Structure 1
Amino acid sequence: MTPVADSIETGPSGRPATPSDADGAGDRGPMARYRALVASGAIAADPVQAMAAEKLQLLYHALLHYRPNGGGSRNWRERLGLVRRAQEPAPQGLYIFGPVGRGKSMLMDLFFASAPVEAKRRVHFHEFMLEIHQAMHEWRQSNEGDPIPALAARVAQSSWLLCFDEFQVTNIADAMLLGRLFEALFQKGVVVVATSNTAPADLYRGGLQRDRFLPFIALITEQLDLIELDGPTDYRLLRMKGRPLYFHPLDAASAAKLDEVWSLLTDGAKGEPASFAVQGRQLEITRAAKGTAFMSFADLCGRPLGAADYLTLATHFHSLLLSGVPRFTPERRNEGKRFITLVDELYEHRSLLAMTMEAPIELLAASDDIEFEYRRTHSRLVEMQSDEYRERHHLT
């Protein structure tokens, strides 16, 4: 596990980054970097993205003159307690949310690269919470009482600018912890920038004991400026236009093509395991990143899962990558029926499906028991390859 405290960004030659490093030669923050990308033709001009870049630019300027009390290094008088630095009000952070593919992560990357801060960290939110839970476990091995104040102090000391990618809450353990953790972080002067596919009011919707989570939503909306990136263009899916989604046979070449789809949809993210509560049990996702899930056919259709599981998958992910789809012989009748149910849920929620298969989609049904039911599935799979289908908004 990466220790929560080991997160200082470094500059040239491995020394701690400084504001001059962050500015770079002639760079003036995220807005300049955004305009440079537009001018070079690397990205298209987008008024909604430009508005968000302006907000990030304002935060960039605020950070030029801000340093939290206790955040980062102190001089010898402060360390001896002879003088005490007054706590300045922290600049308001940002919560950037909206549909997938609108450029949220790109904008945060531009901000993070130029942020004039030594102690900063950009991290996937799921990874950060895993570290917090592990740090709490380790702390309790030799301490008593509440670990939150000590952990918040450690985080603030090493990384008082936190940039979270893919902020989402899917389990009760995180939900019950976040309010106290973030309240302590904000009290320490930590500044937060987060991206999410979910509006704050919809976080952990339908989760267990959600009423106890609502104060955290209130805290987020108070401490962070909310920016909705809701432009009409899904730039990530534009990369997929005209690209094949179904690959056969089940060989290394097909697997490599499915990996390429993953890279295009997730900007090359490694992905992390995820889990969702479904009717009192957990649905385990092998790998997830940026609204995309990767699972094997054996894990998703070879086990006794049902419509509720596939509904959860389809609502939480705009894209599913499925490996190892076999032909549905009489011995695989049950697996075939689950696959039909899965495709129905993905289709109804306009999710993208890419997969490796033993045979082309028109030959997957290899049993009279399933051939009739599979006809509609085949028709839907054909439609789900089309650019018209891909351009539809994912339904959550």
Structure 2
Amino acid sequence: MDSLKQAVAEGRLQPDPGQAEIAAHLEALCEALSEWNEGKSGLFSKSKPAPRGLYLYGGVGTGKSLMMDLFFDAAPVAKKRRVHFHQFLQEIQARITHEREKKDSDPLPRVAKALAKQTRLLCFDELQVTDVGDAMILGRLFDGLFAEGVVMVATSNRHPDDLYKNGLNRQLFEPFIDLIKQTLDVRELDSGRDYRLEQLEAAPVYYHPLGSEADSAMDNAFKRLTRGAKVQTCILDVNGRELVVPRQAAGVARFTFDELCARPLGPADYLMVSETFHTVMIDRAPLLTPGKRDAAKRFVTLIDALYEIRTKLIMSAEAEASRLYPEGDYAFEFQRTVSRLMEMSGRAYLAAERRVGESDEDSPDRTHSE
């Protein structure tokens, strides 16, 4: 993981013993994957067992997404995929439904086998389980994936023993917990600091008016939060539709206002963005005049999604929040959005744990198959 050492040497990251220890573990995993990989064909040895994967857990802002970014880019595997765990579960449920329509027999073995052909290294962001339907299938699904030699690396805020805690019929989920501990190395990343909160509190999260100063402040915020991680485009699958994220790295997504609110996007799109990224940046929100009523309605829906998931927001706008929608027949409804924007700038919100996948409310999927 030379990129981590380089980032520290260049001053983009602070030295962190916990991160250095995890980086060394992931570097060893990269070497094991390279030895397992049979040359340029991209095939893997069936005579040797697959390397043990990694389950990396720890508090918010400790650098788990950064570690995953560095590992994923360095992993010497052609068929590798990084996906937010909640999005992966939605995909699995859709695949099960599709397979069930074709045959009456148990669809899970077929789903696992098909996934294993497409992906040899699965990297998950934010592994957590809140839905009883998901909990019931995970043990058998991953038993099949591991039997096919798929290697898994996952990040989570919770130790495996705390997954789906107090959930309905949890005893049926416990085999998945046992499988994780048998198949993956479980490591905690505990730096004793919340780097994300420190970076968010280092500067304002709402910039106005628009201009070169606001643009520069947004650029600096993006650099601080991504901490030297490689910036890439990714595509999210929203109920079979593609949603392009033009710039993202280390769990941070950056859009212009028009990219999110001037296009015909809806609640499902905004929920997917909110669930996939811990921080969303929005550049250049204009005054929402009566002629921009549709964009204003989408912006309200977007802020609702971010707020419910507790996804962090950094944005630049033409005016302060209370003056963004000065007049028009949607002004009354917009007052709730103003209130939420103000709350989202406060420390309590910035420090709050996200609510991904919770039924009462909330990294990108990158696929390589060269």
Shorter chain as denominator, the TM-score bin is 0.5 to 0.7
SS at match of 2:142: helix
Letter in 1 for 2:23: A
**How far has the Cα of 1:102 moved from its partner?**
2.3
* Counterpart check, 1:394 vs 2:355: no
The corresponding residue for 2:79 is 120
Q: Normalised by the size of structure 2, how large is the TM-score? A: 0.60
Letter in 2 for 1:103: G
Identity between Structure 1 and Structure 2 (%): 38
Q: Say if 1:91 and 1:142 are closer, same or farther in 2 by CA, change over 3 A.
A: same
Correspondence 1:87-236 to 2 at 5 A: 88=49, 90-115=50-75, 117-126=76-85, 127-231=87-191, 232-235=193-196
State how far apart, in whole Å, the 2-side matches of 1:73 and 1:54 are: 23
* Counterpart check, 1:40 vs 2:10: yes
Deviations 1:156-184 (CA, angstroms, capped at 9, x unpaired): 23322211222222323322211110111
Q: Say if 1:120 and 1:42 are closer, same or farther in 2 by CA, change over 3 A.
A: farther
Q: Say if 1:238 and 1:226 are closer, same or farther in 2 by CA, change over 3 A.
A: same
The corresponding residue for 1:371 is none
Q: Which stretch of structure 1 is more off in the superposition, 119-128 or 51-60?
A: 119-128
SS at match of 2:80: strand
SS at match of 1:144: coil
Q: Say if 1:154 and 1:97 are closer, same or farther in 2 by CA, change over 3 A.
A: same
**How far has the Cα of 1:57 moved from its partner?**
1.7
SS at match of 1:51: helix
State how far apart, in whole Å, the 2-side matches of 1:42 and 1:163 are: 25
State how far apart, in whole Å, the 1-side matches of 2:7 and 2:277 are: 29
* Counterpart check, 1:65 vs 2:35: yes
**How far has the Cα of 1:147 moved from its partner?**
1.9
Letter in 2 for 1:66: W
The corresponding residue for 2:202 is 241
Where has structure 1 moved over 4 Å in runs of 4 or more? 246-249, 257-274, 288-292, 316-322, 350-364, 380-386, 390-393
Contact kept? 2:33, 2:77, Cα under 8 Å: no
Contact kept? 2:205, 2:315, Cα under 8 Å: no
State how far apart, in whole Å, the 2-side matches of 1:264 and 1:130 are: 32
Q: Which among 56, 65, 87 is matched to residue 26 of structure 2?
A: 56
State how far apart, in whole Å, the 1-side matches of 2:88 and 2:199 are: 30
Q: Normalised by the size of structure 1, how large is the TM-score? A: 0.56
Contact kept? 1:179, 1:216, Cα under 8 Å: yes
Contact kept? 1:175, 1:213, Cα under 8 Å: yes
Contact kept? 1:95, 1:195, Cα under 8 Å: yes
State how far apart, in whole Å, the 1-side matches of 2:319 and 2:219 are: 19
Letter in 2 for 1:60: C
Q: Say if 1:261 and 1:247 are closer, same or farther in 2 by CA, change over 3 A.
A: farther
**How far has the Cα of 1:223 moved from its partner?**
1.5
Contact kept? 2:116, 2:149, Cα under 8 Å: yes
Deviations 1:279-307 (CA, angstroms, capped at 9, x unpaired): xxxxxxxxx99599x9x9xxxxxxxxxxx
State how far apart, in whole Å, the 2-side matches of 1:248 and 1:41 are: 31
**CA RMSD in angstroms, aligned pairs only:** 6.0
**How far has the Cα of 1:145 moved from its partner?**
1.1
- Mind listing any 5+ residue stretches in structure 2 that lack a counterpart? 238-244, 261-275, 286-302, 325-334, 355-370
Q: Say if 1:140 and 1:243 are closer, same or farther in 2 by CA, change over 3 A.
A: same
State how far apart, in whole Å, the 1-side matches of 2:88 and 2:140 are: 15
Larger RCO: Structure 1 or Structure 2 (Cα < 8 Å, ≥ 6 residues apart)?
Answer: 2
**How far has the Cα of 1:264 moved from its partner?**
7.6
**How far has the Cα of 1:98 moved from its partner?**
1.7
- Name the larger-Rg structure: 1
State how far apart, in whole Å, the 2-side matches of 1:112 and 1:320 are: 21
SS at match of 1:141: helix
Contact kept? 1:93, 1:192, Cα under 8 Å: yes
Contact kept? 1:122, 1:163, Cα under 8 Å: yes
State how far apart, in whole Å, the 2-side matches of 1:99 and 1:213 are: 23
- Mind listing any 5+ residue stretches in structure 1 that lack a counterpart? 1-29, 75-84, 275-287, 297-315, 325-341, 365-373
Letter in 2 for 1:243: P
